[in-house]
Amino acid sequence: GQQVMQIPQYQHVQEGEDFTTYCNSSTTLSNIQWYKQRPGGHPVFLIQLVKSGEVKKQKRLTFQFGEAKKNSSLHITATQTTDVGTYFCAGLGSSNTGKLIFGQGTTLQVKP
Amino acid sequence: SQTIHQWPATLVQPVGSPLSLECTVEGTSNPNLYWYRQAAGRGLQLLFYSVGIGQISSEVPQNLSASRPQDRQFILSSKKLLLSDSGFYLCAWSKGLGPMGTEAFFGQGTRLTVV
């Protein structure tokens, strides 16, 4: 079945350093979504990418969708302590099933 | 505006007892509905999803079941809980399918501890 793999599982960075998390799907995706979950909270939507090769930016966050629509990345420039949390990618399959599969998430810790 | 309600927020249940978690969505019609489970420090495991009343897709064989008795109501149940059922259960909704599928909106979650 459809699987979404995400690496790394954990990342500790010094404040001001950059951070990247990678997401790979076993199947072609209709779209890829990114979420952030703060400790003790629920996942909150960040962005959605639909087109092959699409790149979107939100301030210090850059999101990319691969040409084959099977991989994606989230890059944070100059991390801040407010970036702490777990970042999940989620893939919506190419067939119209409504099935939304999440990656395992990358937990980011930022040392001030 | 759309809202999603999930309750209870926390639950402690003995092994072998039944379970019923309820989730309702307001302000939209015919949403896609999802139940996820998150073990401590782990990712989101898709348990069930539904694209319409009476349509339930199960992802992981287990002693849990789901039902959608109304368009905007999604229920997660178990007849007999196991210790391994402990976790953070999240209900979510979204709209559309395929490339038009929208983001998922999550409820606050239910933290279930089976003792």
The shortest C-alpha distance from B82 to chain A (Å) reads 23
Per-residue pLDDT tens over the stretch A43-96? 999 999 999 999 999 999 999 999 999 999 999 999 999 999 999 999 887 666
- Residue corresponding to tokens 């402690």: B12
Cross-chain residue pair A98–B43, CB shorter than 8 Å:
no
pLDDT for A96 equals: 65
Contact assignment for A43 to B90 by CB distance below 8 Å: yes
Sequence-ordered list of residues with C-beta below 8 angstroms from that of B72, at least 6 positions apart, any chain: B24, B25, B26, B28, B29, B31
Q: Which positions in chain B touch A35 (Cβ < 8 Å)?
A: 104
Give the nearest chain A residue to B39 (CA atoms): A104
| Number of C-beta neighbours around residue A100 at 10 A | 24
pLDDT of residue B95: 86
The label of the residue with tokens 């991989």 reads A71
Measuring CA to CA, which residue among A87, A105, A84, A76 is closest to residue A17?
Answer: A76
Q: B24 Cβ partners below 8 Å, 6+ apart?
A: B4, B5, B72, B73, B74
* B46/B23 Cα distance (integer angstroms): 15
Mean pLDDT of B86-114: 88
Instruction: Tokens for A3, please give them.
Output: 């699987």
Question: Could you read off the pLDDT of B4-54 as tens digits, one per residue?
Answer: 999 999 999 999 999 999 999 999 989 999 999 998 777 899 999 998 998
Contacts of A7 in chain B (CB under 8 A): none
> What pLDDT does A95 receive?
67
Distance CA A37, CA A108 (A): 10
Give the other-Cβ count within 10 Å of A94's Cβ.
16
pLDDT tens-digit map of A19-51: 999 999 999 988 899 999 998 899 999 999 999
Q: Is B14 on the interface with A (CB under 8 A)?
A: no
- Asked if the C-beta of B53 comes within 8 angstroms of chain A's C-beta atoms, the answer is no
Query: Chain B within 8 Å of A105 (Cβ-Cβ)?
Result: yes
Chain B residue nearest residue A2, CA to CA = B59
pLDDT at A93: 75
- The DSSP string of B60-90 is S-SSEEEEEEETTEEEEEESS--GGG-EEEE
